[in-house]
C-alpha cells in the first residue's frame, strides 16, 4: 500500500532529524576571519523573501524563516502548502495556561520542521493599548506580565525542539496606520513598564534566539536603527544574546542600522546592504568591528539553527497529524470565554431541536488577516461543528451578512473537467494578443491570490493571469460580484464584461494595504444553471494606482468574490421567526480577517452593519438564544443587557467549529479568561484621543494606564473586565497566606475549591496594589497567575511565586532605573481583575534600585 501524505511527511520529518545542516567544524571565529568584506555584507541581508544568504565557498548554508505566529505558512503566499492554524493570539492569551502554550510551541516546532523552517517569526507580543488595532488579534494581551509569561512558554516549546523563536515587534508597533513612518511618542516609564516588559519577561524565561524590530519610530527614531533600544537596553542592560532582524522591508538605512545593532535586513535581495554596506565600511562610516559584530550574530543563528536537523532548502510537506487536530480543538475550546450564562442556559442538550443563525455560522473565521493568515489543512465552520454533535434537527437561517467584502467564490467553482476550484493560467502577453503563449496552468481553490512570491523561469517584468471556472448558484436571484486587485483586472460572466477594475482605481485595504477597493457588479442568475466566470488580471506594474507609505509586495494580487443579494430586513424577520419555533438557538456573529487585518486599523468597535439588529430581534423572539461572538479584539454589544448567554470565541483556527460546539454542548467546561478589557463603547477606551498618526506621530497619552489600569483609575465600568470568564461549575477561594522564600520571592497561597458537581478549571490571579506610593501608580497590577483543573467537590492548595522586588517596582525616570519603594502593598487574590478578592498586605522594608533582568 502506498504511504499517505501524512506518513510521507512524518517519514521526511524523522529523516531530516538525522541530517546536519552544517558542515563539520563550523566555527564562527574561523569563518569570520575567512570572510571577505563583500561576503560579510552579503550575509547581513536576506537571500530572498524567507531565506538568509548562503556562502558556498565557505560552506555557510542558508536558513529558512517562516510566519508565525499562529501557524507555519512555509515559503509561499502563492500556492502555499496547507498548515495547522492555531487560534489567534488573543485566544491563546485567553487560556491563561502556560503548559498548554508550551505544547502549542511544540506543535509549531514540528510544523516548522515539516515546512523546512529553522526560525519561526513569532510570537507577537505587542500591547493592545486600544481596541481598534488592525493587528490586535495577533498579540496576547493588554497586560505585559500575561503577554511575556505566555510568550516565554511559547518560545520554550519551540526551542526545546530546536526551532528558533523570534519575538516581535520590538517595540511599540501597536497600530497599523502609517506603521512604517509613525513615531510612537511614549514616556520612558510607559516604555519600560508596559511595552518593553513583555519582551523582558519572555527573554528572561526563554532566552529566545531572535527578535524582530518594529516598523515604526520610537520617540523620533525608527526602532530598527535606535541604539538605545538595540544596543543599550536589549544587549547591554538585559545581556541578551541573539540575532536582531528587521520586519519585512523595515530597514531604512545602511550605516545607522548597522551601528545601532540591526543584524539582518529582511527580506532579500537587499536594499541597504550588499555593495552599499561594503562601501560604507571602506569609507569608515561603519567600523569593521561593527560589521563583524553583526555578522557574528548571523553565524551564531545559523549554528543554532543547525541543531534542528532541518536540511538546507528542505521540501515543504504537510504534517496534519490526528494528535495535532486534537490539540488544536483543545486550544479552541479552552480559549473560549463564557461572558454571561444567566439562568444556566448553557450547556445545551444535544437531542433537542436547534436553530443555527447568523453571518458567522457557515463561514470559517479561523484567523485574522495579514501575515498571520495561512492556508489551513481544514477549517470547520460553527454550523458544521454543531451539526456534527447534534442529535436533534438542526435548522439554519442567515439573518444578515457580516462580510466587509463579498465572500470569496473560488471554492464554489469547478473546473472544465469537474474538479473543485478554478484554473489559473499565466502569460507574458495581455489578453489582447491572439493565441498568446501560456507559461503554466494550475488549479486553485481560494479566490484571493497573493502573487508575492510567484515565479516562473520565463516570466517577464510585466505579465498577466487568467482565472477561469464554472459557477452553479443554489438560489435564483440577483447576485453581486466583486473584484479587488493590486494590479488591474476585469471579470466576465459567460464572456460578458461585468466588472472593470482597470482605470480610475481607488485605494483600499486589500493585500496588506496595497490593493484597491472592491469594485462590484450585479447580475440575475438562475439556480442550477452553470455560468462561466473568467477574470483577466494584470500584475501590479500594469496599474497606475500609487500608494504612499505601503510596502511593495511584488507582483500584486487578485481577489474575486460573489454573494446572492438578500433583503436584510426580511432575512432578520425570518431568523427571528425560526428562533421562536425551536427548542434551542445559537447565533454566530462577529468580525473576520477582513475587519481585523495587518495593514489597516478598525474604524469602529462595532459589529458589521445589521448584526446588532439581527441579534436584538432574535433575542426578542427567544430570550434564551446563545450569542457567540468571533473577533480578535473587543466589539460593542448594545444588546448585552437582554442577552442571557454570551460566548467570546475569538478566531479558533482549524478546529473552530468543533471547539465551539464542545463548549456549547458541555463536552468541555469553559475556562477562558479575557486577556483584555471589553469597554462598553470606543470612547471609553484610554486611547480614544490618541490613536492613529497625527502629523507623523501618535501620542501614548494614557502613559502606564493601559487596559484595566485605566478603567480602574477612571472608575469607568467596562462591559467585561480583564480576567473575567465564567464556568459551568463554581469555585471558592479561601485561606490566603504568604510565605517568604529566598531571593525576595514570596509564595502567595490559598485554597481553591470546586463547589459544583462538574469538573472545571479556574485561573487564580494575583494582583499587587501599592498603598501609599511615592508617585502616581495604577490601582493594582497583575503579578502572577495559575490555572488549576479540579473535579467537582475537589479542593487543592494553590501557590503562586511572586518576586516582591519586581512586583512592587516602577521605572524611576530621573535616574533611569527600577525602584521598589519601601512601604505597604496589598496582595489581592481573585478570579478576575474585578469582583471579590482575598486580601492581605506585605511591607517592603527598604527601597531598592535595580537594572537588568
Give domain status of residue 574, yes or no.
no
Q: For residue 16, what pLDDT is reported?
A: 40
Per-residue pLDDT averaged across 771-797, rounded? 98
Q: For residue 430, what pLDDT is reported?
A: 97
Report the CATH number that the domain containing residue 502 is assigned in CATH.
2.60.120.260
Number of H helices, E strands in the chain: 20, 36
For 448-490, the pLDDT digits (tens) are 999 988 989 999 999 999 999 999 999 999 999 999 999 999 9
Last residue of a domain, one of 308, 336, 356: 308
| Residues 435 and 534 grouped into a single domain | yes
Beta strands in 548-624 (DSSP E): 557-564, 584-590
Is the model's pLDDT at 757 over the cut of 60? yes
Residue 343 CA to residue 566 CA, distance in Å, equals 35
Question: Is the peptide bond between 267 and the residue preceding it cis, with omega within 30 degrees of 0?
Answer: yes
Run of H or E including 338: strand 337-341
- Identify which has the larger pLDDT, 325 or 551: 325
Per-residue pLDDT averaged across 304-312, rounded? 96
Residue 365 CA to residue 359 CA, distance in Å, equals 10
Residue 545's pLDDT band (cuts 50, 70, 90)? confident
Per-residue pLDDT averaged across 358-374, rounded? 91
Phi, psi of 692 (to 5 degrees): 75, 160
Residue 550's pLDDT band (cuts 50, 70, 90)? low
Q: For residue 548, what pLDDT is reported?
A: 66
Is the model's pLDDT at 551 over the cut of 70? no
Give domain status of residue 601, yes or no.
no
Give the range of the structural domain holding residue 49, as residue numbers without chain letter. 5-308
Per-residue pLDDT averaged across 50-62, rounded? 97
Give domain status of residue 458, yes or no.
yes
For 412-455, the pLDDT digits (tens) are 999 999 999 999 999 999 999 999 999 999 999 889 999 988 98
| Residues 501 and 451 grouped into a single domain | yes
Phi, psi of 195 (to 5 degrees): -90, -35
Per-residue pLDDT averaged across 30-49, rounded? 97
| Residues 260 and 205 grouped into a single domain | yes
Beta strands in 6-82 (DSSP E): 65-66
Last residue of a domain, one of 684, 713, 742: 713
| Residues 206 and 230 grouped into a single domain | yes
Is 785 in a helix, a strand, or coil?
A: strand
Q: Which residues pair with 395 in a beta bridge?
A: 355
Find the range with the poorest average confidence among 30-34, 282-286, 362-366. 362-366
Residue 549's pLDDT band (cuts 50, 70, 90)? low
| Residues 805 and 699 grouped into a single domain | no
Is the model's pLDDT at 4 over the cut of 50? no
Cα 213–Cα 217–Cα 218 angle in degrees, nearest 5? 90
Q: For residue 7, what pLDDT is reported?
A: 40
Is the model's pLDDT at 69 over the cut of 50? yes
Give domain status of residue 289, yes or no.
yes
Is the model's pLDDT at 804 over the cut of 80? yes
Q: What's the pTM?
A: 0.94
Run of H or E including 536: strand 531-538
Find the range with the poorest average confidence among 182-191, 509-518, 648-657, 811-820. 509-518
Cβ 378 vs Cβ 318: under 8 Å: no
What total number of domains does the chain contain?
Answer: 4
Question: Of 54, 162, 174, 247, which is the active-site residue?
Answer: 247
Q: Who contacts 360 (Cβ-Cβ below 8 Å, separation ≥6)?
A: 382, 402, 588, 589, 590, 592, 628, 630
For 758-781, the pLDDT digits (tens) are 999 999 999 999 999 999 999 999
3-state DSSP of 513-531:
HCCECCEEEEEEECCCCCE
For 723-755, the pLDDT digits (tens) are 999 999 999 999 999 999 998 999 999 999 999
Per-residue pLDDT averaged across 351-360, rounded? 98
| Residues 10 and 126 grouped into a single domain | yes
What distance lies between CA 522 and its chain's CA centroid? 34
Give domain status of residue 181, yes or no.
yes
- Identify which has the larger pLDDT, 546 or 724: 724
Residue 777 CA to residue 225 CA, distance in Å, equals 32
| Residues 670 and 550 grouped into a single domain | no
Q: What percent of the chain has pLDDT over 70?
A: 97
Phi, psi of 557 (to 5 degrees): -155, 165
Give domain status of residue 576, yes or no.
no
> Which of 508, 550, 511, 512 minimizes the C-alpha distance to 181?
550
For 698-727, the pLDDT digits (tens) are 999 999 999 999 999 999 999 999 999 999
User: Distances in Å between the alpha carbon of 572 and those of 360, 544, 617?
Assistant: 14, 42, 7
| Residues 83 and 99 grouped into a single domain | yes
Q: What percent of the chain has pLDDT over 90?
A: 92
Run of H or E including 296: helix 288-305
For 90-140, the pLDDT digits (tens) are 999 999 999 999 999 999 999 999 999 999 999 999 999 999 999 999 999
Residue 843's pLDDT band (cuts 50, 70, 90)? very high
Residue 121 has a CB neighbour count (10 Å cut-off) of 28
Report the CATH number that the domain containing residue 757 is assigned in CATH.
2.60.40.10
Give domain status of residue 604, yes or no.
no
Per-residue pLDDT averaged across 544-554, rounded? 73
| Residues 442 and 352 grouped into a single domain | no
Long-range contacts of 284-287 (CB under 8 A, 24+ apart): 285/254, 285/255, 286/254, 286/255, 286/258, 286/259
Give domain status of residue 668, yes or no.
yes
Is 488 in a helix, a strand, or coil?
A: strand
Residue 30 CA to residue 10 CA, distance in Å, equals 36
For 583-626, the pLDDT digits (tens) are 999 999 999 998 999 988 999 999 999 999 999 999 999 999 99
Give the burial string for 604-634 (b: 16+ CB within 10 Å, else e).
ebbbbebbbbbbbbbbebbbbbbbbbbbbbb
Q: For residue 68, what pLDDT is reported?
A: 82
- Identify which has the larger pLDDT, 8 or 200: 200
Is the model's pLDDT at 172 over the cut of 50? yes
| Residues 651 and 695 grouped into a single domain | yes
Q: Which residues pair with 501 in a beta bridge?
A: 489
Q: For residue 509, what pLDDT is reported?
A: 82
Q: For residue 19, what pLDDT is reported?
A: 59
Is 413 in a helix, a strand, or coil?
A: strand
Give the burial string for 350-369 (b: 16+ CB within 10 Å, else e).
beeebbbbbbbbbbbbbbbb
Sign of CA dihedral 831, 834, 837, 841: positive
- Which phi-psi region, left, alpha or beta, contains residue 776 (left: φ > 0; alpha: ψ -120 to 50)? beta
Residue 801 CA to residue 799 CA, distance in Å, equals 7
| Residues 84 and 203 grouped into a single domain | yes
Phi, psi of 621 (to 5 degrees): -75, -30
Cβ 388 vs Cβ 356: under 8 Å: no
Run of H or E including 732: strand 731-740
| Residues 454 and 528 grouped into a single domain | yes
Mark whether 247 is an active-site residue: yes
Cβ 381 vs Cβ 394: under 8 Å: no
Residue 837 CA to residue 766 CA, distance in Å, equals 9
Cβ 191 vs Cβ 157: under 8 Å: no
Amino acid at each position: 500500500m502506498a504511504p499517505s501524505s501524512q506518513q510521507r511527511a512524518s517519514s521526511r520529518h524523522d529523516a531530516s532529524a538525522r541530517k546536519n545542516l552544517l558542515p563539520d567544524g563550523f566555527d564562527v571565529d574561523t569563518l569570520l576571519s575567512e570572510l571577505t568584506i563583500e561576503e560579510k555584507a552579503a550575509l547581513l541581508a536576506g537571500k530572498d523573501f524567507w531565506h538568509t544568504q548562503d556562502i558556498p565557498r565557505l560552506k555557510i548554508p542558508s536558513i529558512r524563516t517562516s510566519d508565525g505566529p499562529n501557524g507555519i505558512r512555509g515559503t509561499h503566499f502563492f500556492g502555499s502548502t496547507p498548515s495547522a492554524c492555531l487560534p489567534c493570539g488573543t485566544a491563546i492569551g485567553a487560556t491563561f495556561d502556560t503548559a498548554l502554550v508550551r505544547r502549542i510551541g511544540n506543535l509549531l516546532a514540528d510544523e516548522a520542521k515539516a515546512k523546512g523552517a529553522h526560525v519561526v517569526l513569532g510570537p507577537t507580543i505587542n500591547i493592545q493599548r486600544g481596541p481598534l488595532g488592525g493587528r490586535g488579534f495577533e498579540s496576547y494581551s493588554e497586560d505585559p506580565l500575561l503577554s511575556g509569561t505566555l510568550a516565554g512558554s511559547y518560545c520554550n516549546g519551540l526551542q526545546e525542539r530546536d526551532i528558533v523563536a523570534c519575538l516581535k515587534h520590538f517595540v511599540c508597533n501597536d497600530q497599523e496606520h502609517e506603521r512604517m513612518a509613525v513615531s510612537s511618542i511614549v514616556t520612558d516609564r510607559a516604555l519600560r513598564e508596559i511595552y518593553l516588559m513583555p519582551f523582558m519577561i519572555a527573554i528572561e524565561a526563554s532566552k529566545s534566539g531572535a527578535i524582530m524590530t518594529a516598523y515604526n519610530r520610537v520617540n523620533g527614531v525608527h526602532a530598527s536603527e535606535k541604539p538605545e533600544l538595540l544596543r543599550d537596553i536589549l544587549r547591554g542592560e538585559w545581556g541578551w544574546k541573539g540575532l536582531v532582524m528587521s520586519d519585512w522591508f523595515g530597514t531604512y538605512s545602511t550605516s545607522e542600522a548597522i551601528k545601532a545593532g540591526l543584524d539582518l535586513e529582511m527580506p532579500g535581495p537587499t536594499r541597504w546592504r550588499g555593495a552599499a554596506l561594503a562601501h560604507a565600511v571602506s569609507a569608515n562610516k561603519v567600523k569593521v568591528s561593527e560589521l563583524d559584530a553583526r555578522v557574528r550574530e548571523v553565524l551564531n543563528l545559523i549554528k543554532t539553527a543547525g541543531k534542528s536537523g532541518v536540511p538546507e532548502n528542505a521540501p515543504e510537506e504537510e504534517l496534519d497529524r490526528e494528535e495535532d487536530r486534537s490539540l488544536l480543538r483543545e486550544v479552541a475550546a479552552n480559549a473560549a470565554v463564557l461572558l454571561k450564562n444567566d439562568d444556566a442556559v448553557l450547556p445545551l442538550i444535544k437531542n433537542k431541536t436547534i436553530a443555527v443563525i447568523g453571518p458567522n455560522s457557515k463561514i470559517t473565521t479561523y484567523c485574522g488577516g495579514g501575515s498571520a493568515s495561512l492556508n489551513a489543512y481544514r477549517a470547520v465552520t460553527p454550523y458544521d461543528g454543531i451539526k456534527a454533535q447534534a442529535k436533534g434537527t438542526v435548522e439554519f437561517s442567515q439573518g444578515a451578512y457580516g462580510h466587509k467584502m463579498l465572500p470569496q467564490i473560488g471554492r464554489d467553482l469547478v473546473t472544465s473537467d469537474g474538479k473543485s476550484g478554478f484554473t489559473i493560467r499565466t502569460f507574458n502577453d495581455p489578453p489582447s494578443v491572439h493565441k498568446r503563449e501560456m507559461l503554466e496552468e494550475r488549479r486553485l481553490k481560494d479566490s484571493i491570490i497573493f502573487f508575492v512570491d510567484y515565479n516562473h523561469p520565463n516570466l517577464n517584468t510585466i505579465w498577466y493571469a487568467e482565472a477561469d471556472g464554472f459557477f452553479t448558484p443554489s438560489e435564483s436571484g440577483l447576485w453581486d460580484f466583486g473584484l479587488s486587485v493590486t494590479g488591474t483586472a476585469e471579470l466576465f460572466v459567460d464572456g460578458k464584461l461585468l466588472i472593470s477594475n482597470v482605470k480610475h482605481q481607488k485605494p483600499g485595504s486589500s493585500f496588506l494595504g496595497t490593493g484597491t477597493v472592491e469594485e462590484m457588479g450585479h447580475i440575475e442568475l438562475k439556480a442550477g444553471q452553470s455560468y462561466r466566470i473568467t477574470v483577466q488580471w494584470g500584475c501590479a506594474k500594469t496599474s497606475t494606482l500609487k500608494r504612499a507609505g505601503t510596502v511593495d509586495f511584488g507582483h500584486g494580487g487578485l481577489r474575486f468574490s460573489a454573494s446572492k443579494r438578500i433583503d436584510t430586513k426580511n432575512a432578520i424577520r425570518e431568523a427571528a421567526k425560526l428562533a421562536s419555533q425551536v427548542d434551542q438557538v445559537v447565533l454566530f456573529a462577529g468580525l473576520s480577517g477582513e475587519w481585523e487585518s495587518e495593514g489597516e486599523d478598525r474604524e469602529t468597535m462595532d459589529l458589521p452593519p445589521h448584526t446588532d439588529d439581527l441579534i436584538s430581534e432574535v433575542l426578542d423572539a427567544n430570550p434564551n438564544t446563545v450569542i457567540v461572538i468571533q473577533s480578535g479584539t473587543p466589539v460593542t454589544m448594545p444588546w448585552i443587557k437582554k442577552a442571557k448567554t454570551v460566548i467570546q470565541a475569538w478566531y479558533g483556527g482549524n478546529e473552530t467549529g468543533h471547539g465551539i460546539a464542545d463548549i456549547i454542548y458541555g463536552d468541555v467546561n469553559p475556562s477562558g479568561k479575557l486577556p483584555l478589557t471589553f469597554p462598553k463603547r470606543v470612547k471609553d477606551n484610554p486611547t480614544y484621543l490618541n490613536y492613529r498618526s497625527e502629523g507623523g506621530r501618535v501620542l501614548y497619552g494614557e502613559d502606564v494606564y493601559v487596559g484595566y489600569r485605566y478603567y480602574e483609575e477612571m472608575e469607568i465600568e467596562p462591559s467585561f473586565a480583564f480576567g473575567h470568564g465564567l464556568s459551568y461549575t463554581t469555585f471558592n477561594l479561601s485561606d490566603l497566606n504568604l510565605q517568604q522564600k529566598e531571593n525576595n520571592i514570596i509564595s502567595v497561597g490559598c485554597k481553591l475549591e470546586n463547589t459544583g458537581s462538574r469538573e472545571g478549571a479556574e485561573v487564580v490571579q494575583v494582583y499587587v496594589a501599592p498603598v501609599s506610593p511615592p508617585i502616581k501608580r495604577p490601582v493594582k497590577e497583575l503579578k502572577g497567575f495559575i490555572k488549576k483543573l479540579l473535579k467537582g467537590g475537589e479542593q487543592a492548595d494553590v501557590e503562586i511565586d511572586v518576586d516582591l522586588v519586581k512586583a512592587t517596582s516602577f521605572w524611576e525616570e530621573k535616574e533611569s532605573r527600577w525602584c521598589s519603594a519601601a512601604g505597604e502593598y496589598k496582595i489581592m487574590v481573585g478570579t478576575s481583575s474585578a469582583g471579590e478578592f482575598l486580601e492581605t498586605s506585605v511591607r517592603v522594608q527598604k527601597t531598592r534600585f535595580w537594572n537588568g533582568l
